[in-house]
Every structure is written in C-alpha cells, then in structure tokens.
C-alpha cells in the first residue's frame, strides 16, 4: 500500500510538469517576432563573427626600426626575447642581452594572418640580429661535422653518399658510425654549403689506429698484413727494435682515419679459378727441399655466387653461396729431392746479420759526419765493438778483405741472384771460396772504413742492383 501511494504521487507530479511545459510552448508559439528585428539581429551577429574571425588584438615586434613579426600578446613577445637571449648565450659561450633601445613593441588590432607563433618570431628575430641561426647539424659518432639551414638537405646528402656506393647487386649499404642530424642553433658563421660538408665526410681525420703485438708476431708480418712495408711501419713507430718485439707492445698502424665508414654488401657472380693438386715423385738426384715440375698443372674453372663485404671500397669478407664447376683442374706432377742438402746451400730467406738499433736506412740520407755516400745502399745496424756478425743465408764467400769506404768487407753469393754485403768489420772469420751456412759467424762488428761508430753495414743486391734490406728481413 505504501509503495502504491508513493507511485501515485510521483505519477501525479510528472503529469503536472508535462502540462506546464506544454502550456509554455503554446504561449511562445502565438508570439510573433518582427522580421526587421530578426534580420537586423542576424546581420549584427554575422558582422561580429566576421570581425572576430578576421582580426584580433596582438603585439607587433620591431628590431632596430624593422618590423619583425606579430604575436598574440606581450607575454609571448617577452618569452621569445628571453628564450633567444638564453639560446644565443649558450651557443656563443658568452653573455648576450638584446638592447632595450633596439627592440620595440606596439599593441593593436591585427589581421589574424599577420600573427605568428613564438617559434616563428624567435627564428625571424634571430635572423635579424644575425649572431646565431637555427640550423640542421650533422654529427658522426658525436663529433660535429657541419650545419646547413635547409631542412632535409643533410638527409639527401647521406642518401647520395650511399647511392654512389651501390649498384643493382647491392644487398645492404650502411654507415658503421652513428650518424645523427639535430636541429639546433649555431653561430651564423658556422653555416656552410653542402659541398664542403660532403668534402669533409670524404676526407680523413687525425686518429691513431693501433695494433697490440701477440706471440709469434714478426715485424714484417705485421707490416704486410696491414699493407705497409717494414720501413713505413718503422717510420710510424720510431725507436722500436724490430728484431726484439715484446708481447703486449702497441704499434701505431695509421695516423688518420675516415670520418665515415661505408659498409657495402654486394652479391657477385663470377668465374673463379679452381686450384689444381700437386703430386710428388721422389728423386735421389735432387737435394731435399728442391723440386722440378715434370708436368705443369692447369687451373679449373667454377661459376661462383658470393656475398662480398666492402668497407670504404676495400674487401673485408667474402662468403661463397654456391660454386658450380665448369672445368676440372689438371694435377701437376713434380719431382722432389731426397738427397741430403749441404748446410751452406741458400734457404731463400734472410735473417738479421746482427742485433741492434738501425742508425741509417736505405736510400737518400745526409752523409754522417761528412763522410760516406748520401745514397745509402743498405742499412746500418749499431752494435758493440767485436759483436758477432752472421751470414744472412747460406752461400759462398766471394770477397773477404779491405774495400775502400766499406773497410773490412765480406760478400756472400747465395747462388740465386742475391749477394749480401757486411761492411765496417773489425775482423773477418772467413775467406774467399768458403761455404757458409745461414747463421754462421763470419766477422766481428767494428768501425773500419768510412764510419762514425761501431756498426754492421748490411746490403742486399739482386743481379747487381741494391735492394732495401728491410723488405727481406723478418
């Protein structure tokens, strides 16, 4: 019963409310608005909307009498000024404040199209002042390279660098370094053209490339593996004893490196040679270690597909994907000696004639002490008086005695076109016609002839022409 009573009251009140609303609408319906008043009010409303959409209150900023731009309010203009002073101070590394006498503000009704945002005003004001400029800056591994004011120009330059290094067979082309483009303010004088930035990227910078000596390394092997001669490696590492490398020593291999390292992977197809096998037949008429070709081998051919990796144009890796033999190789037949070899026969390689520091290199030089040739035909190895001098390889002594500026000299013919010289000795231990083996002592270090101190003058001659000994020594 209580629920029914409550529901009846709610229903009654709802009916009363709807009746009242209906009466109000009925009253409004019978009231008519005069047409002139309606039209006039509509026109006024349209005029207000047009004015508000076309014009607005704003502040015009001028610098040194030149109008820069307009913003919505004085506070925005002040904020731009503060930001630009902060940016300029940070960029130039010295305090900067815009002179109050140079910057002016004027308020008024402005076309909405004339009003710009804070970023645009800051950029335009910065350009008018001329100390710093918003730019796109290129960084390689965090190192600043250059800046340009043109959006997208650096991206296009990097794409062009990659395109120049790629072909239709290119699988991938990437920079090894971290290349980053940042938008920031720079001193206006730092803005440069793209050609200069490209030239910088193609060039090298001063930076050492080093190598740590490991067990079993030799001076010549380190030099050869890094496309250097022994002399070039020594020029980068003056003062090293190349005959006594220590494990853990750090050698300088290069004094410059490129700014950008471009790693390109190409898929290549080519016809490659297939190595032939060699079969040996023993011969008692030949010395051990000697051989004679009876029937020459012939290389085969194979159609090869490979992925080749190039770093700045230099091949660093080659992965064979497939190889199809086109022509089988022909095995080479050789005779090999079994007769015991005399110790004095040459091995074909040279050892150091004595230990010590190189005091004069092969080639042009200043005449030491005003004596001796300025075109040095060998190397001088300093050592103490009387230190042993050894045969660099096996052979036959063709000269042993005094020879002008050489002082006491030993010449050894190695029977293969090579002759070695050992000069300025204090005494000789061999005679002409003696057969000597590699490493046999032949003399003692001295300073005879045209000499300024105790050393061994060592020459390598091939068919009578002097060669740089460092190209033959380990």
Pair of tokens at residue 424: 């300025």
Residue 370: pLDDT band (50, 70, 90) is very low
Whether residue 239 is predicted with pLDDT greater than 70 in this model: the reply is yes
Segments of the chain assigned to CATH 2.70.70.10: 357-471
CATH number assigned to the domain covering 357-471: 2.70.70.10
Give mean pLDDT, residues 387-398: 95
Q: For position 46, what pLDDT does the model report? A: 60
pLDDT in tens, 330-362: 999 999 999 887 888 888 899 999 999 998 888
Segments of the chain assigned to CATH 3.10.350.10: 206-258
**How far is the C-alpha of 347 from the C-alpha of 370, rounded, in Å?**
38
| Class (C level, CATH) for 262-339 | mainly beta
**CA separation, residue 78 to residues 201, 342, 440 (Å):** 41, 98, 91
Could you tell me which of 410, 415, 404 has the C-alpha nearest to residue 427? 410
Q: For position 365, what pLDDT does the model report? A: 58
Whether residue 434 is predicted with pLDDT greater than 80 in this model: the reply is yes
Lowest-confidence segment of 146-160, 230-244, 295-309, 448-462 by average pLDDT? 230-244
Structure-model confidence comparison of residues 44 and 375, the more confident one: 375
Residue 411: pLDDT band (50, 70, 90) is very high
Whether residue 268 is predicted with pLDDT greater than 90 in this model: the reply is yes
**How far is the C-alpha of 129 from the C-alpha of 61, rounded, in Å?**
13
Residues in Cβ contact with 232 at an 8 Å cutoff, skipping those fewer than 6 apart: 223
| 123 within 8 A of 134, measured Cβ to Cβ | yes
Whether residue 292 is predicted with pLDDT greater than 60 in this model: the reply is yes
Segments of the chain assigned to CATH 2.20.230.10: 262-339
CATH 3.10.350.10 holds for 206-258: yes
Lowest-confidence segment of 46-55, 240-249, 292-301 by average pLDDT? 46-55
Pair of tokens at residue 129: 């002042």
């Amino acid at each position: 019963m209580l629920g029914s009573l409550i529901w009846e009251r709610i229903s009654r009140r709802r009916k009363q409310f709807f009746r009242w609303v209906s009466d109000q609408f009925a009253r409004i319906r019978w009231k008519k608005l005069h047409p002139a008043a309606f039209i006039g009010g509509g026109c006024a409303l349209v005029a207000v909307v047009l004015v508000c959409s076309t014009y607005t209150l704003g502040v015009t900023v001028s610098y040194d009498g030149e109008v820069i731009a307009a913003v919505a309010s004085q506070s925005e203009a002040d904020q731009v000024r503060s930001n630009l002073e902060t940016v300029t101070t940070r960029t130039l590394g010295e305090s900067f404040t815009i002179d109050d006498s140079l910057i002016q503000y004027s308020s008024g009704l402005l076309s909405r199209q004339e009003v710009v945002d804070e970023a645009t005003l800051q950029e335009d004001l910065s350009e008018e002042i001329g100390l710093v400029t918003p730019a796109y800056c290129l960084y390689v591994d965090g190192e600043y390279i250059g800046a340009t004011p043109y959006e997208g120009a650096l991206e296009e330059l990097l794409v062009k660098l990659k395109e120049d290094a790629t072909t239709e067979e290119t699988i991938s082309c990437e920079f090894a370094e971290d290349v980053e483009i940042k938008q920031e303010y720079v001193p206006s004088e730092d803005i440069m053209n793209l050609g200069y930035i490209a030239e910088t990227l193609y060039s090298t910078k001063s930076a050492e490339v080093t190598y740590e000596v490991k067990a079993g390394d030799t001076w010549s092997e380190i030099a050869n593996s890094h496309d250097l001669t022994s002399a070039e490696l020594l020029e980068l590492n003056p003062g090293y004893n190349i005959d006594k490398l220590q494990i853990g020593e750090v050698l300088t291999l290069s004094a410059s490196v490129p700014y950008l390292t471009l790693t390109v992977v190409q898929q290549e197809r080519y016809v490659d040679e297939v190595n032939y096998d060699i079969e040996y037949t023993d011969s008692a008429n030949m010395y051990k270690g000697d051989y004679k070709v009876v029937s020459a081998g012939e290389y085969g051919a194979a159609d090869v597909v490979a992925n080749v990796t190039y770093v700045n144009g230099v091949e660093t890796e080659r992965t064979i994907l497939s190889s199809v033999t086109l022509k089988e190789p022909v095995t080479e037949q050789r005779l090999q000696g079994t007769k015991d070899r005399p110790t004095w026969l040459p091995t074909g390689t040279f050892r150091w004639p004595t230990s010590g520091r190189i005091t004069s290199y092969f080639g042009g030089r200043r005449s030491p002490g005003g004596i001796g040739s300025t075109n040095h035909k060998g190397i001088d190895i300093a050592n103490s008086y009387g230190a042993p001098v050894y045969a660099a390889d096996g052979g036959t002594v063709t000269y042993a005695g005094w020879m002008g500026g050489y002082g006491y000299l030993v010449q050894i013919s190695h029977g293969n076109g090579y002759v070695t010289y050992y000069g300025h000795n204090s005494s000789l231990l061999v005679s002409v016609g003696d057969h000597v083996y590699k490493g046999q002592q032949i003399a003692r270090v001295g300073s005879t002839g045209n000499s300024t101190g105790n050393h061994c003058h060592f020459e390598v001659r091939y068919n009578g022409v002097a060669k740089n000994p460092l190209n033959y020594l380990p």
